[in-house]
Amino acid sequence: AMSKTINVFFIDRNGDKQKAKAKIGTSLLDVAIDNNIDLEGFGACEGTLSCSTCHLILRKEDYEQLKAPNDEENDMLDLAFGLTPTSRLGCQITVTDKMDGWVFVVPKDVSDARG
């Protein structure tokens, strides 16, 4: 079966908007990697929820459509560089149909919680 894709956008660290193809059911971390979005240090723990480097900032209207982060994600988010009220961890967000056109801002820096 063909897996369906939607388009999302990343605002990279230079402020440039990059269009990315996102496969339904994959994580935003996978999407960033599959689309070669230039994110030095991003996704350092490969989605195992132990680094916080996959921190992405969402638009408020998008953020509010997602289920709230669980305790594990919140604990790790607390350690992320430049935390905002609409911050999430890319490895914990699964792409769904409704995310077509969503925009994810890559924070200017990362802090790797693994020290």
Q: Which residues bind ligand FES (CB under 6 A)?
A: 29, 43-45, 47, 49-54, 76, 89, 91
How many residues can be counted in the chain? 115
As measured in angstroms, the least distance from the Cβ of 93 to ligand FES is 10
Q: How many CB atoms lie within 10 A of CB 42?
A: 21
Using the minimum distance from each CB to ligand FES, give the nearer residue, 2 or 28. 28
Question: Considering only CA atoms, which of 56, 34, 29 is closest in space to residue 110?
Answer: 56
CB of 80 to ligand FES, least distance (A): 9
CB of 62 to ligand FES, least distance (A): 18
By the 8 A CB rule, do 31 and 23 touch?
yes
The closest residue (CB) to ligand FES is 91
Closer CB to ligand FES, residue 4 or residue 109? 109
Q: How many CB atoms lie within 10 A of CB 36?
A: 9
Min CB(2)–ligand FES separation in Å: 27
**Distance from C-alpha of 10 to C-alpha of 76, rounded to nearest angstrom:** 21
